[in-house]
Structure 1
Amino acid sequence: GSVVDPKPVARFRRFRAEVIRRLETLAHGTPEDILIQALDRAGPIQEQALLQQAGLPPEIAGKALEDLKSRGEVLPLVPERPAGTLVSRGQWESLSSRLRSLLEAYHRQHPLRGGMPREELKSRLGLEARVYAEVVQRAVAEGVVSATEAVVSLPGYKPRFTPEQERLVEALLARFRREPFSPPSVSEAESEVGPEVLAALVEQGRLMRLSDSVLLLPETYERMLIAVIDRLRRGQPVTIATVRDLFSTSRKYAQAFLEYLDRERITRRVGDERVLLQP
């Protein structure tokens, strides 16, 4: 007899149909058949690892792989790296379908969220970090999904409030406009519209969360930012007391605002004062 699989990745159960098909391919299939079979079992996989697992002579394996790529039966996850991570056409169609299904379910379950957190999606797909990043990159390029730094969603998906939620949102935002420098706290806002709605408002950029307890309208933040930068550029000191008095706000809001500027690397604290980091 002859050895048809010199590098088995697992022990086989005798007479299982898929095992028999695989061994028949190894014994009688073309080099292209053998490569596709190896890719379907192990992919997504780096090209060099695929060639080694196929167990074919290097020249034959290399030519067969190029033929498969030219016919679109083997795809690089990142087209700019054709010798990088590879998937078969069938694998990619399966991955794309699974991505859509996971996101459809997530949108149904969390209609007010802009998308599934990237880490959660990676965990659901069961992919290691590098391959996952390449899968999302290709899926975005093909229009299968949309992605930001934080979340992945179906293309064109937008959270939509119910009429009652929209009424509550407008009432809350009206309070922020009436009292721009002493607006409702996070806990107050959550009690008025609910945590999910408030999270959606922050995600949509309709409110800014400066700390665990402080929210501002984006236009209020911009107004405060321009005033503080102007003072710093003119060499005037800026402290918590300065901001408190300048905007007739409380120490809590002034402190949260300045600490946010520090985290954004717009300013740096030196003693009780702030210095400008950005020109």
Structure 2
Amino acid sequence: SEVEDAISTLETEGKVTRIGSGLTFISSTAGWEELTEMATKTLADFHGSYPLRQGMPLQDFRGQLRLKSASFGAVLQSLTAKEKVTTDDATVRLPAHRPVLTPAQEAAAADYSKLLAVDRFSPSTEQPVDIELLLFLVERGDVVRISDDVVYLADAYEDMESRILDSGAGGREITITTVRDMFGTSRKYTLAVLEHMDSKGLTRRVGDSRFVR
């Protein structure tokens, strides 16, 4: 078509840029370069403020760029294809960004792990580490945060989850009392674990009991 021919001519002259995997969105080259610069600066600022986070939530990134959903998808595809950004299901980051703990943070993380290990099924609810370090440890797989104040070492939580699921095999009822007695822990911890398992879709609640899904 004449329109397509005109667009192709402008593209050849470097005046417009096609965006997205289907190349259905078109931007002036100057506008695209400005948007690319805004995108990389937005992420650089985010990484500077939150160095331990894997990336910026996609919806926050879209909000910063002031884009509608359809055009944002196309922009993200092109930014990724041009290796300006890297994305996963929920976040976006600069390709060079790698969260790394400082020696002091590694020491704080080790001390926190030791604190949680003192009573592995009823871990301390003290949180001597700041929230950013805690979220990093969750992301790295060191710990599992099952509520605002209950955090388990990952291996302790996985042990509990496995044993609870085994106890409910064959349609057997899982009760707060049996789980509490199984691990010698309090109702508070038992409920937190069971509610977390409900939220993961591993168990379903019927009254005060649970059954494996």
- The two structures share one fold, judged by TM-score above 0.5: yes
Q: CA deviation at 1:218?
A: 2.0
Q: Could you tell me which of 122, 131, 140 is aligned with 2:80?
A: 140
CA distance in 2, matches of 1:156, 1:266: 36
Instruction: Name the amino acid aligned to 2:19.
Output: L
Q: CA deviation at 1:173?
A: 0.8
State the superposition RMSD in angstroms.
2.2
Structure 2 counterpart SS, 1:234: helix
**Cα 1:245/1:73, change in 2 over 3 Å:** farther
Q: Could you tell me which of 47, 63, 85 is aligned with 2:5?
A: 63
- Give the structure 1 partner of residue 195 of structure 2: 259
**Cα 1:163/1:67, change in 2 over 3 Å:** same
TM-score, normalised via structure 1 length: 0.69
Instruction: Name the amino acid aligned to 1:182.
Output: S
Q: Work out which of the two has the higher radius of gyration on C-alpha atoms and give 1 or 2.
A: 1
Structure 1 counterpart SS, 2:168: helix
Q: CA deviation at 1:211?
A: 1.3
- Give the structure 1 partner of residue 174 of structure 2: 238
Q: Could you tell me which of 91, 94, 108 is aligned with 1:151?
A: 91
Instruction: Name the amino acid aligned to 2:37.
Output: S
Gaps of 5+ in 1: 1-58
- Give the structure 2 partner of residue 168 of structure 1: 108
Identical aligned pairs, as a percentage? Answer: 35
Higher relative contact order (CA 8 A, sep 6+): 2
Gaps of 5+ in 2: none
- Give the structure 2 partner of residue 213 of structure 1: 149
Instruction: Name the amino acid aligned to 1:175.
Output: L
CA distance in 1, matches of 2:172, 2:14: 64
CA distance in 2, matches of 1:63, 1:157: 40
Q: CA deviation at 1:71?
A: 7.2
Query: Does residue 225 of structure 1 match 2:161?
Result: yes
Q: CA deviation at 1:98?
A: 1.8
Q: Give the aligned length.
A: 213
**Cα 1:252/1:137, change in 2 over 3 Å:** farther
